[in-house]
Structure 1
Protein backbone atom coordinates (compact mmCIF):
# COMPACT_ATOMS: atom_id res chain seq x y z
CA UNK A 1 0.00 0.00 0.00
CA UNK A 2 1.30 3.45 -0.97
CA UNK A 3 0.18 5.94 1.69
CA UNK A 4 -0.84 9.35 0.39
CA UNK A 5 -0.64 12.39 2.64
CA UNK A 6 -2.51 15.05 0.67
CA UNK A 7 -3.37 16.31 -2.77
CA UNK A 8 -0.79 18.88 -3.86
CA UNK A 9 -1.34 20.41 -7.30
CA UNK A 10 -2.92 20.23 -10.73
CA UNK A 11 -0.96 20.96 -13.92
CA UNK A 12 -3.01 21.92 -16.98
CA UNK A 13 -1.99 22.53 -20.56
CA UNK A 14 -3.54 25.46 -22.43
CA UNK A 15 -3.23 27.08 -25.87
CA UNK A 16 -3.94 30.50 -24.35
CA UNK A 17 -1.58 30.87 -21.42
CA UNK A 18 -2.20 34.59 -21.04
CA UNK A 19 -5.97 34.14 -20.94
CA UNK A 20 -5.83 31.19 -18.53
CA UNK A 21 -3.58 33.06 -16.11
CA UNK A 22 -5.82 36.14 -16.30
CA UNK A 23 -8.82 33.95 -15.45
CA UNK A 24 -7.01 32.41 -12.48
CA UNK A 25 -6.06 35.88 -11.22
CA UNK A 26 -9.29 37.77 -11.91
CA UNK A 27 -11.94 35.06 -11.42
CA UNK A 28 -10.45 32.43 -9.10
CA UNK A 29 -8.54 35.02 -7.08
CA UNK A 30 -5.25 33.14 -7.28
CA UNK A 31 -2.02 35.18 -7.16
CA UNK A 32 0.89 34.25 -9.36
CA UNK A 33 3.73 32.41 -7.64
CA UNK A 34 6.33 32.71 -10.36
CA UNK A 35 7.08 31.54 -13.88
CA UNK A 36 9.47 29.14 -15.50
CA UNK A 37 10.12 28.05 -19.03
CA UNK A 38 12.54 26.84 -21.64
CA UNK A 39 12.43 26.04 -25.37
CA UNK A 40 11.96 22.31 -24.69
CA UNK A 41 9.04 22.46 -22.24
CA UNK A 42 7.47 25.88 -22.91
CA UNK A 43 6.39 28.36 -20.28
CA UNK A 44 4.68 27.52 -16.99
CA UNK A 45 2.88 29.88 -14.61
CA UNK A 46 2.48 28.89 -10.95
CA UNK A 47 -0.61 29.94 -9.03
CA UNK A 48 -1.27 29.89 -5.29
CA UNK A 49 -4.45 29.23 -3.30
CA UNK A 50 -2.98 28.79 0.20
CA UNK A 51 0.34 28.49 2.06
CA UNK A 52 1.70 25.97 -0.44
CA UNK A 53 4.19 27.17 -3.03
CA UNK A 54 1.60 26.53 -5.73
CA UNK A 55 -1.51 24.42 -6.27
CA UNK A 56 -2.31 25.14 -9.93
CA UNK A 57 0.04 25.39 -12.90
CA UNK A 58 -0.95 26.48 -16.39
CA UNK A 59 1.49 25.44 -19.11
CA UNK A 60 1.87 26.14 -22.81
CA UNK A 61 0.56 22.98 -24.45
CA UNK A 62 -2.30 20.65 -25.21
CA UNK A 63 -5.45 21.41 -23.13
CA UNK A 64 -5.90 17.65 -22.73
CA UNK A 65 -2.60 17.46 -20.84
CA UNK A 66 -3.58 17.09 -17.16
CA UNK A 67 -1.46 15.96 -14.21
CA UNK A 68 -2.48 15.69 -10.54
CA UNK A 69 0.21 15.67 -7.86
CA UNK A 70 -0.04 13.98 -4.45
CA UNK A 71 2.36 14.23 -1.54
CA UNK A 72 3.40 10.96 0.05
CA UNK A 73 3.03 10.37 3.76
CA UNK A 74 6.25 10.83 5.74
CA UNK A 75 8.36 7.71 5.67
CA UNK A 76 7.00 6.41 2.37
CA UNK A 77 9.90 6.00 -0.04
CA UNK A 78 9.60 6.85 -3.72
CA UNK A 79 11.67 3.81 -4.71
CA UNK A 80 9.35 1.49 -2.81
CA UNK A 81 6.28 3.19 -4.32
CA UNK A 82 7.77 2.90 -7.82
CA UNK A 83 8.59 -0.77 -7.29
CA UNK A 84 5.03 -1.51 -6.13
CA UNK A 85 3.47 0.28 -9.11
CA UNK A 86 5.77 -1.46 -11.59
CA UNK A 87 5.08 -4.84 -9.94
CA UNK A 88 1.38 -4.20 -10.62
CA UNK A 89 2.02 -3.33 -14.26
CA UNK A 90 2.05 0.48 -14.11
CA UNK A 91 5.19 1.87 -15.78
CA UNK A 92 6.85 4.60 -13.70
CA UNK A 93 8.81 7.65 -14.84
CA UNK A 94 11.34 8.99 -12.33
CA UNK A 95 11.57 12.77 -12.45
CA UNK A 96 14.81 14.31 -13.67
CA UNK A 97 16.46 17.18 -11.81
CA UNK A 98 14.98 19.60 -14.36
CA UNK A 99 11.50 18.12 -13.95
CA UNK A 100 11.77 18.27 -10.16
CA UNK A 101 12.74 21.92 -10.38
CA UNK A 102 9.70 22.55 -12.60
CA UNK A 103 7.46 20.99 -9.94
CA UNK A 104 9.33 22.64 -7.07
CA UNK A 105 9.79 19.34 -5.27
CA UNK A 106 12.80 17.40 -4.07
CA UNK A 107 11.81 14.27 -6.01
CA UNK A 108 8.83 12.68 -7.74
CA UNK A 109 7.67 9.72 -9.79
CA UNK A 110 4.93 9.73 -12.41
CA UNK A 111 2.56 7.01 -13.63
CA UNK A 112 -0.96 6.63 -15.02
CA UNK A 113 -3.93 5.15 -13.24
CA UNK A 114 -5.89 2.40 -15.06
CA UNK A 115 -8.01 4.99 -16.93
CA UNK A 116 -4.90 6.87 -18.07
CA UNK A 117 -4.96 9.80 -15.65
CA UNK A 118 -1.42 11.12 -15.17
CA UNK A 119 -0.40 11.13 -11.49
CA UNK A 120 2.69 12.53 -9.75
CA UNK A 121 3.80 11.28 -6.34
CA UNK A 122 6.07 13.89 -4.77
CA UNK A 123 8.43 14.22 -1.85
CA UNK A 124 9.35 17.37 0.05
CA UNK A 125 7.40 19.98 -1.95
CA UNK A 126 8.23 23.62 -1.36
CA UNK A 127 6.14 26.00 0.74
CA UNK A 128 5.71 29.68 -0.01
CA UNK A 129 7.75 32.23 1.93
CA UNK A 130 4.94 34.80 1.75
CA UNK A 131 1.40 34.66 3.21
CA UNK A 132 -1.40 33.86 0.78
CA UNK A 133 -3.50 36.86 -0.26
CA UNK A 134 -6.31 36.40 -2.82
CA UNK A 135 -6.44 38.73 -5.82
CA UNK A 136 -10.16 39.37 -5.46
CA UNK A 137 -12.58 39.58 -2.56
CA UNK A 138 -13.13 35.90 -1.78
CA UNK A 139 -11.98 34.08 1.33
CA UNK A 140 -10.31 31.16 -0.44
CA UNK A 141 -9.02 28.70 2.16
CA UNK A 142 -7.24 26.43 -0.31
CA UNK A 143 -7.16 23.80 -3.04
CA UNK A 144 -8.97 20.74 -1.72
CA UNK A 145 -9.94 18.07 -4.27
CA UNK A 146 -10.26 16.98 -7.88
CA UNK A 147 -12.83 15.10 -9.87
CA UNK A 148 -11.19 12.58 -12.18
CA UNK A 149 -12.78 10.87 -15.14
CA UNK A 150 -12.80 7.08 -15.07
CA UNK A 151 -13.51 4.67 -17.91
CA UNK A 152 -14.27 1.89 -15.39
CA UNK A 153 -15.32 3.12 -11.95
CA UNK A 154 -15.16 -0.24 -10.13
CA UNK A 155 -11.69 -1.01 -11.51
CA UNK A 156 -10.35 2.44 -10.65
CA UNK A 157 -11.91 2.42 -7.19
CA UNK A 158 -10.09 -0.86 -6.53
CA UNK A 159 -6.83 0.72 -7.71
CA UNK A 160 -7.12 3.89 -5.62
CA UNK A 161 -8.19 1.99 -2.49
CA UNK A 162 -6.03 -1.10 -2.92
CA UNK A 163 -2.82 0.56 -4.10
CA UNK A 164 -2.96 4.23 -3.06
CA UNK A 165 -4.54 4.04 0.43
CA UNK A 166 -7.75 5.94 -0.42
CA UNK A 167 -11.00 5.03 1.34
CA UNK A 168 -14.54 5.26 0.01
CA UNK A 169 -16.66 7.82 1.88
CA UNK A 170 -19.81 7.52 -0.25
CA UNK A 171 -20.90 6.52 -3.74
CA UNK A 172 -23.25 8.22 -6.19
CA UNK A 173 -24.27 5.45 -8.52
CA UNK A 174 -20.96 3.93 -9.59
CA UNK A 175 -18.98 7.09 -8.77
CA UNK A 176 -16.93 6.77 -5.56
CA UNK A 177 -15.96 9.76 -3.40
CA UNK A 178 -12.55 8.95 -1.94
CA UNK A 179 -10.73 10.33 1.10
CA UNK A 180 -7.05 10.13 2.00
CA UNK A 181 -7.41 11.92 5.34
CA UNK A 182 -10.40 13.01 7.44
CA UNK A 183 -11.86 15.31 4.73
CA UNK A 184 -14.88 13.63 3.11
CA UNK A 185 -13.16 13.38 -0.26
CA UNK A 186 -9.99 14.49 -2.03
CA UNK A 187 -10.70 12.47 -5.20
CA UNK A 188 -14.01 11.77 -6.93
CA UNK A 189 -14.16 9.32 -9.83
CA UNK A 190 -16.84 10.07 -12.43
CA UNK A 191 -17.63 7.62 -15.26
CA UNK A 192 -16.61 8.96 -18.67
CA UNK A 193 -15.42 7.75 -22.06
CA UNK A 194 -11.99 9.32 -21.61
CA UNK A 195 -9.47 10.23 -18.89
CA UNK A 196 -8.63 13.65 -17.45
CA UNK A 197 -9.42 16.09 -14.67
CA UNK A 198 -13.18 16.64 -14.52
CA UNK A 199 -13.27 19.49 -11.99
CA UNK A 200 -11.01 21.34 -9.54
CA UNK A 201 -12.23 22.36 -6.09
CA UNK A 202 -11.22 25.24 -3.85
CA UNK A 203 -12.64 25.63 -0.38
CA UNK A 204 -14.00 29.01 0.71
CA UNK A 205 -14.81 30.17 4.20
CA UNK A 206 -18.60 30.43 4.13
CA UNK A 207 -21.86 30.51 2.23
CA UNK A 208 -21.32 34.27 1.94
CA UNK A 209 -18.27 33.64 -0.26
CA UNK A 210 -20.29 31.26 -2.43
CA UNK A 211 -23.21 33.63 -2.91
CA UNK A 212 -21.03 36.70 -3.43
CA UNK A 213 -19.05 34.72 -5.99
CA UNK A 214 -22.26 33.66 -7.74
CA UNK A 215 -23.22 37.29 -8.30
CA UNK A 216 -19.63 38.21 -9.16
CA UNK A 217 -19.43 35.47 -11.81
CA UNK A 218 -22.69 36.63 -13.36
CA UNK A 219 -21.38 40.19 -13.55
CA UNK A 220 -18.24 38.94 -15.33
CA UNK A 221 -20.10 36.72 -17.80
CA UNK A 222 -18.73 33.45 -16.38
CA UNK A 223 -21.11 30.54 -16.94
CA UNK A 224 -22.34 28.77 -13.80
CA UNK A 225 -22.83 25.07 -14.51
CA UNK A 226 -24.21 23.90 -11.14
CA UNK A 227 -25.51 25.62 -8.04
CA UNK A 228 -25.56 27.31 -5.72
CA UNK A 229 -26.48 24.13 -3.90
CA UNK A 230 -25.62 21.66 -1.15
CA UNK A 231 -24.26 18.14 -1.54
CA UNK A 232 -26.11 15.51 0.50
CA UNK A 233 -22.95 13.35 0.53
CA UNK A 234 -20.35 15.71 2.05
CA UNK A 235 -22.78 18.35 3.33
CA UNK A 236 -20.77 21.04 1.50
CA UNK A 237 -22.43 24.08 -0.04
CA UNK A 238 -21.15 24.56 -3.57
CA UNK A 239 -20.93 26.52 -6.80
CA UNK A 240 -19.49 25.09 -10.04
CA UNK A 241 -18.47 27.33 -12.93
CA UNK A 242 -16.72 27.11 -16.28
CA UNK A 243 -13.04 27.92 -16.73
CA UNK A 244 -10.52 27.99 -19.58
CA UNK A 245 -10.48 25.08 -22.04
CA UNK A 246 -13.77 23.76 -20.63
CA UNK A 247 -12.33 22.99 -17.18
CA UNK A 248 -14.92 23.17 -14.40
CA UNK A 249 -13.98 24.89 -11.13
CA UNK A 250 -15.86 24.56 -7.85
CA UNK A 251 -16.06 26.66 -4.72
CA UNK A 252 -17.40 24.82 -1.69
CA UNK A 253 -17.73 25.37 2.04
CA UNK A 254 -18.65 23.19 5.00
CA UNK A 255 -17.35 19.82 3.79
CA UNK A 256 -17.73 17.13 6.43
CA UNK A 257 -14.93 15.11 7.98
CA UNK A 258 -14.93 11.39 8.66
CA UNK A 259 -13.02 10.33 11.75
CA UNK A 260 -14.87 7.12 12.63
CA UNK A 261 -12.70 4.15 11.55
CA UNK A 262 -15.89 2.06 11.30
CA UNK A 263 -17.50 4.42 8.76
CA UNK A 264 -19.47 2.59 6.08
CA UNK A 265 -19.96 4.25 2.67
CA UNK A 266 -23.50 5.25 1.84
CA UNK A 267 -25.00 4.49 -1.56
CA UNK A 268 -26.80 7.35 -3.35
CA UNK A 269 -28.68 6.95 -6.63
CA UNK A 270 -27.18 8.59 -9.70
CA UNK A 271 -29.79 11.33 -9.99
CA UNK A 272 -29.93 15.12 -9.41
CA UNK A 273 -31.10 14.82 -5.80
CA UNK A 274 -27.91 12.90 -4.94
CA UNK A 275 -25.82 15.83 -6.14
CA UNK A 276 -27.89 18.64 -4.61
CA UNK A 277 -30.37 18.54 -1.73
CA UNK A 278 -31.62 22.05 -2.54
CA UNK A 279 -32.87 21.19 -6.02
CA UNK A 280 -30.14 22.63 -8.27
CA UNK A 281 -29.68 20.71 -11.51
CA UNK A 282 -26.20 20.21 -12.97
CA UNK A 283 -25.22 21.31 -16.46
CA UNK A 284 -22.18 19.01 -16.28
CA UNK A 285 -22.04 15.94 -18.49
CA UNK A 286 -20.54 13.60 -15.86
CA UNK A 287 -23.22 14.58 -13.31
CA UNK A 288 -26.13 13.64 -15.60
CA UNK A 289 -27.55 10.16 -15.88
Structure 2
Protein backbone atom coordinates (compact mmCIF):
# COMPACT_ATOMS: atom_id res chain seq x y z
CA UNK A 1 0.00 0.00 0.00
CA UNK A 2 1.39 3.41 -0.97
CA UNK A 3 1.46 6.35 1.46
CA UNK A 4 -1.35 7.99 -0.52
CA UNK A 5 -3.50 4.88 -0.21
CA UNK A 6 -2.76 4.69 3.52
CA UNK A 7 -3.95 8.27 3.95
CA UNK A 8 -7.15 7.60 2.01
CA UNK A 9 -8.10 4.42 3.91
CA UNK A 10 -9.33 6.12 7.13
CA UNK A 11 -11.41 8.59 5.12
CA UNK A 12 -12.97 5.77 3.13
CA UNK A 13 -13.85 3.91 6.32
CA UNK A 14 -15.42 7.05 7.81
CA UNK A 15 -17.51 7.41 4.65
CA UNK A 16 -18.69 3.81 5.02
CA UNK A 17 -19.59 4.26 8.69
CA UNK A 18 -21.44 7.49 7.86
CA UNK A 19 -23.39 5.76 5.08
CA UNK A 20 -24.29 2.91 7.39
CA UNK A 21 -25.43 5.06 10.31
CA UNK A 22 -27.39 7.29 7.94
CA UNK A 23 -29.77 4.49 7.01
CA UNK A 24 -31.27 4.59 10.51
CA UNK A 25 -32.62 8.09 9.91
CA UNK A 26 -36.33 7.94 10.71
CA UNK A 27 -36.32 4.17 11.27
CA UNK A 28 -36.30 2.11 14.42
CA UNK A 29 -34.65 -1.22 13.63
CA UNK A 30 -33.40 -2.72 10.38
CA UNK A 31 -32.14 -6.11 9.27
CA UNK A 32 -28.67 -6.62 7.84
CA UNK A 33 -30.13 -6.99 4.36
CA UNK A 34 -32.01 -3.70 4.67
CA UNK A 35 -28.93 -1.90 5.98
CA UNK A 36 -26.76 -3.28 3.20
CA UNK A 37 -29.27 -2.23 0.53
CA UNK A 38 -29.90 1.25 1.92
CA UNK A 39 -26.23 2.05 2.52
CA UNK A 40 -25.07 0.54 -0.81
CA UNK A 41 -22.44 -1.44 1.11
CA UNK A 42 -21.69 -5.10 0.47
CA UNK A 43 -23.41 -7.33 2.98
CA UNK A 44 -20.07 -8.60 4.36
CA UNK A 45 -18.72 -5.07 4.84
CA UNK A 46 -21.94 -3.88 6.49
CA UNK A 47 -21.87 -6.85 8.85
CA UNK A 48 -18.24 -6.25 9.81
CA UNK A 49 -18.81 -2.56 10.52
CA UNK A 50 -22.01 -3.26 12.44
CA UNK A 51 -20.25 -5.76 14.68
CA UNK A 52 -17.65 -3.19 15.63
CA UNK A 53 -20.26 -0.48 16.20
CA UNK A 54 -22.17 -2.87 18.47
CA UNK A 55 -19.00 -3.42 20.51
CA UNK A 56 -18.54 0.36 20.84
CA UNK A 57 -22.17 1.01 21.81
CA UNK A 58 -23.03 3.03 18.71
CA UNK A 59 -25.43 0.33 17.49
CA UNK A 60 -27.50 -2.25 19.36
CA UNK A 61 -28.47 -5.68 18.05
CA UNK A 62 -31.90 -7.11 18.73
CA UNK A 63 -32.08 -10.63 17.31
CA UNK A 64 -31.71 -10.22 13.55
CA UNK A 65 -32.29 -6.46 13.65
CA UNK A 66 -30.09 -3.45 14.45
CA UNK A 67 -30.89 -0.07 15.92
CA UNK A 68 -29.01 2.99 17.10
CA UNK A 69 -27.27 2.48 20.44
CA UNK A 70 -27.25 4.51 23.62
CA UNK A 71 -23.90 6.09 22.77
CA UNK A 72 -25.50 7.85 19.79
CA UNK A 73 -28.26 9.24 21.98
CA UNK A 74 -25.78 10.34 24.65
CA UNK A 75 -23.89 12.40 22.10
CA UNK A 76 -27.12 13.71 20.65
CA UNK A 77 -28.29 14.84 24.07
CA UNK A 78 -25.09 16.84 24.48
CA UNK A 79 -25.89 18.70 21.27
CA UNK A 80 -29.45 19.31 22.43
CA UNK A 81 -28.31 20.64 25.81
CA UNK A 82 -25.84 22.93 24.07
CA UNK A 83 -28.58 24.87 22.28
CA UNK A 84 -30.29 27.53 24.37
CA UNK A 85 -33.76 27.05 22.90
CA UNK A 86 -33.75 23.28 23.21
CA UNK A 87 -32.34 23.44 26.71
CA UNK A 88 -35.26 25.48 28.07
CA UNK A 89 -38.14 24.37 25.83
CA UNK A 90 -39.16 21.15 27.61
CA UNK A 91 -41.37 22.52 30.42
CA UNK A 92 -43.14 24.93 28.09
CA UNK A 93 -43.79 22.19 25.54
CA UNK A 94 -45.13 19.86 28.21
CA UNK A 95 -47.42 22.62 29.50
CA UNK A 96 -48.76 23.24 25.98
CA UNK A 97 -49.34 19.51 25.51
CA UNK A 98 -51.21 19.25 28.80
CA UNK A 99 -53.45 22.19 27.92
CA UNK A 100 -54.29 21.11 24.38
CA UNK A 101 -53.94 17.32 24.45
CA UNK A 102 -51.98 17.57 21.19
CA UNK A 103 -48.47 16.46 20.27
CA UNK A 104 -45.87 19.22 20.51
CA UNK A 105 -42.62 19.21 18.51
CA UNK A 106 -39.55 21.41 18.51
CA UNK A 107 -37.86 21.14 15.12
CA UNK A 108 -34.88 22.58 13.26
CA UNK A 109 -33.99 22.90 9.60
CA UNK A 110 -31.39 20.44 8.34
CA UNK A 111 -30.55 20.93 4.67
CA UNK A 112 -33.88 20.49 2.86
CA UNK A 113 -35.50 18.58 5.74
CA UNK A 114 -37.02 19.33 9.09
CA UNK A 115 -35.49 17.45 12.03
CA UNK A 116 -37.56 16.84 15.17
CA UNK A 117 -35.34 17.40 18.23
CA UNK A 118 -37.86 17.45 21.09
CA UNK A 119 -41.40 16.17 21.59
CA UNK A 120 -44.06 16.37 24.27
CA UNK A 121 -46.85 13.83 24.10
CA UNK A 122 -47.08 10.65 22.08
CA UNK A 123 -46.68 10.51 18.34
CA UNK A 124 -49.77 11.67 16.47
CA UNK A 125 -49.78 8.35 14.62
CA UNK A 126 -47.66 5.22 14.34
CA UNK A 127 -45.35 6.62 11.66
CA UNK A 128 -41.65 6.83 12.46
CA UNK A 129 -41.47 10.25 10.80
CA UNK A 130 -42.89 11.86 13.95
CA UNK A 131 -40.36 10.52 16.44
CA UNK A 132 -37.45 12.54 17.87
CA UNK A 133 -34.52 12.31 15.49
CA UNK A 134 -36.71 11.76 12.41
CA UNK A 135 -36.64 13.95 9.34
CA UNK A 136 -39.38 15.09 7.00
CA UNK A 137 -39.16 17.18 3.79
CA UNK A 138 -39.38 20.79 4.97
CA UNK A 139 -41.79 22.03 2.26
CA UNK A 140 -44.34 19.38 3.25
CA UNK A 141 -44.53 20.25 6.96
CA UNK A 142 -45.82 23.30 8.81
CA UNK A 143 -42.63 23.50 10.91
CA UNK A 144 -40.45 23.30 7.83
CA UNK A 145 -42.34 26.01 5.99
CA UNK A 146 -42.09 28.35 9.00
CA UNK A 147 -38.30 28.10 8.93
CA UNK A 148 -38.11 28.32 5.14
CA UNK A 149 -40.15 31.54 5.31
CA UNK A 150 -37.40 33.17 7.36
CA UNK A 151 -34.66 32.43 4.84
CA UNK A 152 -33.55 34.67 2.01
CA UNK A 153 -34.53 33.14 -1.35
CA UNK A 154 -30.86 32.40 -2.09
CA UNK A 155 -30.60 30.38 1.14
CA UNK A 156 -33.52 28.07 0.43
CA UNK A 157 -32.98 24.59 -0.98
CA UNK A 158 -32.95 24.64 -4.75
CA UNK A 159 -34.35 22.24 -7.29
CA UNK A 160 -37.68 20.52 -7.60
CA UNK A 161 -39.86 19.93 -4.57
CA UNK A 162 -39.61 16.43 -3.13
CA UNK A 163 -42.65 14.29 -3.94
CA UNK A 164 -45.55 15.05 -1.58
CA UNK A 165 -46.38 12.48 1.07
CA UNK A 166 -50.08 12.64 0.27
CA UNK A 167 -52.40 13.91 -2.46
CA UNK A 168 -52.89 17.08 -0.38
CA UNK A 169 -49.22 18.11 -0.37
CA UNK A 170 -47.63 21.00 -2.25
CA UNK A 171 -46.67 20.17 -5.83
CA UNK A 172 -44.90 23.27 -7.14
CA UNK A 173 -42.54 26.05 -6.16
CA UNK A 174 -45.32 28.53 -6.87
CA UNK A 175 -47.55 26.90 -4.26
CA UNK A 176 -44.70 26.92 -1.76
CA UNK A 177 -43.95 30.61 -2.36
CA UNK A 178 -47.61 31.50 -1.75
CA UNK A 179 -47.53 29.56 1.51
CA UNK A 180 -44.32 31.30 2.60
CA UNK A 181 -45.84 34.72 1.87
CA UNK A 182 -48.81 33.90 4.12
CA UNK A 183 -46.49 32.72 6.89
CA UNK A 184 -44.51 35.97 6.79
CA UNK A 185 -47.79 37.89 7.01
CA UNK A 186 -49.49 35.94 9.79
CA UNK A 187 -46.56 34.35 11.66
CA UNK A 188 -47.92 30.80 11.62
CA UNK A 189 -48.02 27.89 9.18
CA UNK A 190 -50.91 25.47 8.92
CA UNK A 191 -50.87 22.10 7.17
CA UNK A 192 -53.86 19.77 6.92
CA UNK A 193 -53.43 16.26 5.50
CA UNK A 194 -50.18 17.25 3.73
CA UNK A 195 -47.73 15.33 5.92
CA UNK A 196 -50.19 12.53 6.73
CA UNK A 197 -53.85 12.08 5.83
CA UNK A 198 -56.06 12.78 8.83
CA UNK A 199 -53.49 14.93 10.65
CA UNK A 200 -53.01 18.66 10.84
CA UNK A 201 -50.09 20.72 12.17
CA UNK A 202 -49.78 24.34 13.24
CA UNK A 203 -46.31 25.84 13.59
CA UNK A 204 -44.59 29.11 14.44
CA UNK A 205 -41.01 30.28 14.73
CA UNK A 206 -39.24 30.47 18.08
CA UNK A 207 -37.75 33.96 17.95
CA UNK A 208 -37.87 36.45 15.07
CA UNK A 209 -39.02 34.70 11.90
CA UNK A 210 -36.17 36.08 9.81
CA UNK A 211 -33.49 34.50 12.01
CA UNK A 212 -35.28 31.68 13.85
CA UNK A 213 -33.30 28.50 14.39
CA UNK A 214 -36.23 26.41 15.63
CA UNK A 215 -39.95 25.97 15.06
CA UNK A 216 -42.59 25.00 17.61
CA UNK A 217 -45.55 22.99 16.31
CA UNK A 218 -48.63 21.17 17.52
CA UNK A 219 -50.02 18.17 15.64
CA UNK A 220 -53.23 16.21 16.00
CA UNK A 221 -56.39 15.06 14.22
CA UNK A 222 -57.37 17.45 11.45
CA UNK A 223 -60.91 17.72 12.78
CA UNK A 224 -59.64 18.85 16.18
CA UNK A 225 -56.74 21.20 15.45
CA UNK A 226 -58.16 24.60 14.50
CA UNK A 227 -55.80 27.44 13.63
CA UNK A 228 -58.05 30.21 14.91
CA UNK A 229 -58.48 28.46 18.25
CA UNK A 230 -54.89 27.49 18.96
CA UNK A 231 -52.71 29.94 17.03
CA UNK A 232 -52.46 32.49 19.82
CA UNK A 233 -51.62 29.87 22.43
CA UNK A 234 -48.91 28.40 20.20
CA UNK A 235 -47.33 31.78 19.48
CA UNK A 236 -47.48 32.73 23.15
CA UNK A 237 -45.68 29.54 24.13
CA UNK A 238 -43.01 30.14 21.47
CA UNK A 239 -42.51 33.69 22.80
CA UNK A 240 -42.04 32.38 26.34
CA UNK A 241 -39.50 29.80 25.16
CA UNK A 242 -37.59 32.53 23.33
CA UNK A 243 -37.63 34.79 26.40
CA UNK A 244 -36.39 31.94 28.60
CA UNK A 245 -33.59 31.15 26.15
CA UNK A 246 -32.48 34.78 26.08
CA UNK A 247 -32.59 34.92 29.88
CA UNK A 248 -30.48 31.78 30.10
CA UNK A 249 -27.90 33.24 27.74
CA UNK A 250 -27.70 36.47 29.76
CA UNK A 251 -27.33 34.60 33.04
CA UNK A 252 -30.63 35.73 34.54
CA UNK A 253 -33.08 33.24 35.95
CA UNK A 254 -35.61 32.21 33.28
CA UNK A 255 -39.28 31.99 34.11
CA UNK A 256 -40.95 28.61 33.95
CA UNK A 257 -44.57 27.82 33.14
CA UNK A 258 -46.85 27.29 36.08
CA UNK A 259 -47.78 23.68 36.72
CA UNK A 260 -51.37 23.22 35.59
CA UNK A 261 -53.64 20.30 35.07
CA UNK A 262 -54.72 19.21 31.66
CA UNK A 263 -57.38 21.43 30.20
CA UNK A 264 -60.28 20.07 28.26
CA UNK A 265 -59.07 19.06 24.82
CA UNK A 266 -60.53 20.96 21.86
CA UNK A 267 -63.82 19.55 20.75
CA UNK A 268 -64.07 17.88 17.37
CA UNK A 269 -65.62 20.00 14.69
TM-score (norm 2): 0.29
**Structure with more helix by fraction:** 2
Larger radius of gyration between Structure 1 and Structure 2: 2
**Structure with more strand by fraction:** 1
TM-score (norm 1): 0.28
